[in-house]
Chain A
Amino acid sequence: MLDNATERPLHVSSEYLPHPRIEVADSQLEDLKQLLNRHGIPYWVDEHSISFNDGPFTTIVHFYRGTDVKVVQKILDSVD
């Protein structure tokens, strides 16, 4: 799945391993949520989004402890 703003693939970040996360533009959030729901991946969405220098608003989707980062990345990569 591509980030609409950067046209780079969305990436699951595991800097803090207990809670991997994805940063996504608000405009793509619903698509991402539907994708994760279809695959039964539990997550939660930051309640706030932020825009820098008049850029698009982005928010963070967090995954729970024990989520397999590789599986989630594969799901994202399976979508155009």
Chain B
Amino acid sequence: MPLSEDLRALQERVVGELVAAHDYYTNTKFAWRIVQKVIDSNTKFTIRNKITGSVTDQTALSTHIEEYIQKELAEATFQQFISTFESFFFDFLRLWLTAYPRSLGGKKVDVKFILDAPDKDAILQHAIGKELNEVMYERPSAWFAYLDEKVKLDCPSADEIERLAEAKAARDVLVHNRGVVGKSYALKAGRCARYQEGDRMDIAEPYHRETWDLLQKVVADLSAAGLAKAPLAV
């Protein structure tokens, strides 16, 4: 498939995933609000979790609903947004490097792999995978510097990259440190850092929405810029 078609398909898939994730957040939030209304109307019920042994009635569930919305749901969907964007970014790079393999430069591949590989494409994908794996462990600023080196797209802006770095740092706090801000958050988040060491990371809804908006924009901008540079489909 021509690069332009691949880029369009990638954009469509990722936008669909981001929209679905936000719809899940909104619909689930309202599902819980509806449950709260049911409880408020004096409906009684008991939930028995056979796996954990927990027994929860309407009174107990009511005490958890806000936490489930504001913390569990917000954090889980926020992490999903970031993961979806990371997947988009590296798929974008993979497509570009596949279309323009000479931009890999002097990347080395083991002779054993070459001899075992079924075809040239497998060797290329292996080399691209190794390259992107190294980039993935760098900070977002390095990701975009790498992208810029391979193809000058003039987006996202420096401010957007800093905001992306902070969002990723926030995700890392949730995933790797049980939501407690450590030293590395400030280093990763830079001037966009919102918390200090020891604070509890909070994904309040405005920030949740701003991050989603930012990711949508960066996906749209990178896709448009990539399509403008990609050869047209024949």
A and B bind: yes
Which chain A residues have a beta carbon within 8 Å of chain B's beta carbons? 13, 15-16, 18-19, 21, 44, 46-48, 50, 52, 60, 62, 64-65
Say yes or no: A19 contacts B70, CB within 8 Å: yes
List 18 contacting pairs A-B, 8 Å CB cutoff, sorted by A. A13-B66, A15-B66, A16-B66, A16-B67, A16-B69, A16-B71, A44-B204, A44-B206, A46-B205, A47-B205, A47-B209, A50-B33, A50-B34, A52-B37, A60-B33, A62-B204, A65-B200, A65-B202
Classify the interface of chain A: helix, strand, loop or mixed. Answer: loop
Closest 8 A/B residue pairs (Cβ)? A16-B66, A15-B66, A16-B67, A44-B206, A19-B70, A16-B70, A52-B37, A65-B202
Say yes or no: B205 contacts A15, CB within 8 Å: no
8 Å CB contact of B205 from A13, A18, A44:
A44
Interface size class of B (residues with CB under 8 A): 10 to 19
Q: A47–B65 Cα gap in the complex (Å)? A: 18
A19 partner residues in chain B, CB cutoff 8 A = 66, 70, 204
Say yes or no: B65 contacts A48, CB within 8 Å: no
Q: A64–B70 Cα gap in the complex (Å)? A: 11
8 Å CB contact of A15 from B37, B63, B206, B209:
B63
Q: Give B205's nearest chain A residue, CB to CB.
A: A44
Q: Give B199's nearest chain A residue, CB to CB.
A: A65
B133 interface residue (CB < 8 Å to A): no
Which chain B residues have a beta carbon within 8 Å of chain A's beta carbons? 26, 30, 33-34, 37, 62-63, 65-67, 69-71, 200, 202, 204-206, 209
Nearest CB of B to A58, in Å: 9
Q: A22–B150 Cα gap in the complex (Å)? A: 51
8 Å CB contact of A64 from B26, B62, B204:
B204
Q: A21–B205 Cα gap in the complex (Å)? A: 13
Q: Give B209's nearest chain A residue, CB to CB.
A: A47
A13 partner residues in chain B, CB cutoff 8 A = 66
Nearest CB of A to B170, in Å: 14
Say yes or no: A18 contacts B70, CB within 8 Å: yes
Q: A15–B65 Cα gap in the complex (Å)? A: 8
Nearest CB of A to B29, in Å: 8
Nearest CB of A to B49, in Å: 21
A16 partner residues in chain B, CB cutoff 8 A = 66-67, 69-71
Nearest CB of A to B138, in Å: 32
Say yes or no: B30 contacts A50, CB within 8 Å: yes
Nearest CB of A to B141, in Å: 29
Say yes or no: B71 contacts A62, CB within 8 Å: no
Given contacts A16-B70, A48-B30, contact A62 B202 (CB under 8 A): no
Q: A60–B29 Cα gap in the complex (Å)? A: 12
Q: A16–B64 Cα gap in the complex (Å)? A: 8
Say yes or no: B63 contacts A18, CB within 8 Å: no
Nearest CB of B to A10, in Å: 16
A18 partner residues in chain B, CB cutoff 8 A = 70-71, 200, 202
